[in-house]
């Protein structure tokens, strides 16, 4: 029976590049693999054919010979029996891991005993802006799996030691044969640990772990920002039957402040000033994030929205002794709840302001509005 054309076997054009060849091969190999078609001799035959075709076409020299002479180029043993000569391992290995990585422990080659590492934990921690500025030592309560105190994490009762698993002989992995192909999987008896518990501890039912609330001290560094992740190695869940513990990841959230607003290393603050101080000028006191007071000199005629910069009065900078700057934005507060005398004083003041020198912006604005209205009525 004549062999089918290799390009037809893989379903690609004769000018297909390496990526197209590999993609076509991977799709067909997964479709006709014997493990997915147990007992199907036709699928096994097809699987051998596509491997033989890919082994030839992926090699530039073999492909050139095939394009020139066809199957005759390999009739003298060049391709090996059924395409499974010494080169077959290289033909299939380049995509074996991505096809069957799930059966090989996430792509890790070789056997070895699984250690049953504990799971990682996440803890959401909210701190105040003051704590983020100065740093803090906080205690948190974390619900987690800890080593069983009765069996000291072994999972065995009465101090007895776990026994070597008879299924995998302590390796933690077993191999299964399907035709010519061997697949390695985690041992179903011991779950990959390589050991079995004959007399399980009653306190933890053989797992070596119990649920418990743990109190941990956490150091919050000065300058920590919203969204910072802190890793505490080995503070996660205890490993299975004495395996290594996981890690604890603390995600920090900085709560809003009632006075200050943070922007990186900068602190922003909006401060009201009396109308008289804005008009006549003077000195005002403002709070800072460190708890101190700072003095700002306000010039005569200060307007709402003016910003004053206080260098080195902002947030702490992480892993540094430096601090950012503080920006104070003032807004002029209009007097309210005036008595009759105060009203009379303001009326006299308003009457005394007969030109545009005292309120240049408002005078200029309404002058422009008047011009606009005049243009509309012309």
Say which residue the tokens 């309120």 belong to. Answer: 359
48-52, 86-90, 353-357: which has the minimum mean pLDDT? 86-90
Q: Check whether 6 has a pLDDT greater than 60.
A: yes
For residue 24, count other CB atoms closer than 10 A to its CB: 20
Average pLDDT over residues 328-342: 93
Average pLDDT over residues 327-336: 94
Residue 96 pLDDT: 47
Most confident listed range (15-24, 90-99, 128-137, 361-370)? 128-137
**Which regions of 88-243 does DSSP assign to beta strands (E)?**
121-127, 136-147, 163-164, 173-178, 181-186, 195-196, 209-220, 229-232
Q: Check whether 251 has a pLDDT greater than 60.
A: yes
pTM over 0.75: no
Q: Check whether 115 has a pLDDT greater than 80.
A: no
88-97, 102-111, 180-189, 272-281: which has the minimum mean pLDDT? 102-111
Strand partners, 271: 330
Residue 269, annotated as binding a ligand: no
How far is the CA of 127 from the CAs of 27, 165, 194, 320, 331, in angstroms?
Answer: 52, 49, 44, 20, 30
Q: How confident is the model at residue 83 (pLDDT cuts 50, 70, 90)?
A: very low
Q: Check whether 73 has a pLDDT greater than 60.
A: yes
Q: Which domains are present in the chain?
A: 6-102 (1.10.287.110), 121-162+197-254 (2.60.260.20), 260-333 (2.60.260.20), 343-377 (no CATH)
Residue 168, annotated as binding a ligand: yes
Residue 151, annotated as binding a ligand: yes
Residue 165, annotated as binding a ligand: yes
CA torsion 60-62-66-67 (nearest 10°) is 20
């Amino acid at each position: 029976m004549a062999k089918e054309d290799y390009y037809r076997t893989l379903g690609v054009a004769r000018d297909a590049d390496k990526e197209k060849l590999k993609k076509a091969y991977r799709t067909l190999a997964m479709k006709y693999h014997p493990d997915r078609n147990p007992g199907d001799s036709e699928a096994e035959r097809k699987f051998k054919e596509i491997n033989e075709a890919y082994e030839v076409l992926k090699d530039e020299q073999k492909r050139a010979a095939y394009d020139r002479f066809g199957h005759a180029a390999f009739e003298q043993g060049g391709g090996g029996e059924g395409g499974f000569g010494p080169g077959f391992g290289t033909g299939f290995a380049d995509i074996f891991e991505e096809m069957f990585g799930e059966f090989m422990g996430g792509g890790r080659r070789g056997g070895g005993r699984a250690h049953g590492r504990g799971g990682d934990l996440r803890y959401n921690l909210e701190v105040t802006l003051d704590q983020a500025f100065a740093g803090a030592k906080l205690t948190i309560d974390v619900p987690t799996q800890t080593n069983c105190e009765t069996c000291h994490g072994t999972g065995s009762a009465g101090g007895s030691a776990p026994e070597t698993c008879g299924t995998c002989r302590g390796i933690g992995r077993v191999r299964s044969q399907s035709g010519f192909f061997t697949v390695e999987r985690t041992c179903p008896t011991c779950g990959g640990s390589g050991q079995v518990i004959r007399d399980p501890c009653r306190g933890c039912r053989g797992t070596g772990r119990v649920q418990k609330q743990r109190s941990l001290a956490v150091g919050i560094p000065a300058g920590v920002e919203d969204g910072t992740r802190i890793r505490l190695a080995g503070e996660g869940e205890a490993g299975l039957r004495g395996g290594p513990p996981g890690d604890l990841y603390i995600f920090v959230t900085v709560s809003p402040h009632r006075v200050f607003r943070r922007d990186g290393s900068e602190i922003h603050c909006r401060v009201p000033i009396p109308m008289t101080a804005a008009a006549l000028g003077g000195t005002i006191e403002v709070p800072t994030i460190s708890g101190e007071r700072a003095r700002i000199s306000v010039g005569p005629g200060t307007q709402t929205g003016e910003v004053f910069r206080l260098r080195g009065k902002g947030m702490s900078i992480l892993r540094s002794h430096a601090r950012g700057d503080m920006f104070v934005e003032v807004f002029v507060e209009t007097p309210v709840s005036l008595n009759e005398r105060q009203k009379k004083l303001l009326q006299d003041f308003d009457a005394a302001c007969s030109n545009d020198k005292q309120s240049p912006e408002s005078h200029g604005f309404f002058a422009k509005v008047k011009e606009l209205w005049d243009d509309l009525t012309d």
